[in-house]
Amino acid sequence: DTEVTQTPKHLVMGMTNKKSLKCEQHMGHRAMYWYKQKAKKPPELMFVYSYEKLSINESVPSRFSPECPNSSLLNLHLHALQPEDSALYLCASSQVLNYVGTYEQYFGPGTRLTVT
């Protein structure tokens, strides 16, 4: 099974709401990623977890809060978002790169987030 699942598929939230995005994989991958993608642009890395520990945070605003409760799950908690945060949020997983890497990422279908 090479599938990464993401829920929900679509989310509309107001600027005062709190919501969470969920990502799950059962490939035994120990690296998991959150990306943000605007229309017609490449994905932008937000966070990387390696062995359930946050290893990369690309200076993301604190209104985005990641969580990796176990090796299969990755959450992204959202609070007090701005309209410019509207985007496609992609989750990915891979084997951990412990040297100059050859491991590919597997992507989920994404959550389309609209902030009103």
Binding positions for other proteins, rule: CB under 8 A? 4, 6, 31, 33, 40-43, 45, 48, 50, 55-56, 88, 90, 92, 94, 96-98, 100-110, 112
In the complex with other proteins, the residue whose CB is nearer, 55 or 82, is 55
Smallest separation (angstroms) from other proteins to the CB of 52: 13
Smallest separation (angstroms) from other proteins to the CB of 40: 8
* Inter-residue contact 1 to 56 (CB < 8 Å): no
At 63, give phi and psi (nearest 5°).
-70, -10
**How many of the other CB atoms lie within 10 Å of CB of 48?**
19
In the complex with other proteins, the residue whose CB is nearer, 2 or 15, is 2
Q: Residue 65 has which token pair?
A: 């809060």
The alpha carbons of the chain give a radius of gyration, in whole angstroms, of 14
